[in-house]
Amino acid sequence: MTWLGFLVLVVIAAIVGSIGQALVGFSRGGCLVAAVVGFIGALLGMWLSRQLGLPELFTVTIQGEPFPIVWSIIGSAILAAGLSLISGRRRAL
């Protein structure tokens, strides 16, 4: 995979992670945190779909690397919900 392909995957993961975080209402960190949540959400979402026997709904292939959009959003939302439960609420002073 080239640097450009990797950069495109990072941008897509950041967008997907941002959507997953917005669905849950979890908004800590910036674009880098959203990209990490997007990548981990992709792994979590694909694992979940395979365990349940569900098909890949919308997959983008970049230089031979598939990136499942719908399952990544679902996985990112699950991961963001778990992170928000663990970290708790911030209280304004």
**Number of compact structural domains in the chain:** 1
93 in any annotated domain: no
**Kind plus residue range of the DSSP H or E element containing 57:** none
15 in any annotated domain: yes
How many whole angstroms separate alpha carbon 21 and alpha carbon 8? Answer: 20
pLDDT, position 92: 47
21 in any annotated domain: yes
At CA 20, angle to CA 58 and CA 74, rounded to 5?
A: 50
18 in any annotated domain: yes
**pLDDT tens, N- to C-terminus, the chain (93 residues):** 788 888 888 888 888 888 888 888 877 777 788 888 888 888 888 889 889 998 888 888 888 878 888 988 998 999 888 888 887 765 544
Q: Residue for token digits 């002073």?
A: 93
- Owning domain of residue 19: 10-53+65-78
72 in any annotated domain: yes
3 in any annotated domain: no
At CA 54, angle to CA 50 and CA 59, rounded to 5?
A: 85
pLDDT, position 93: 47
2 in any annotated domain: no
How many whole angstroms separate alpha carbon 55 and alpha carbon 24? Answer: 24
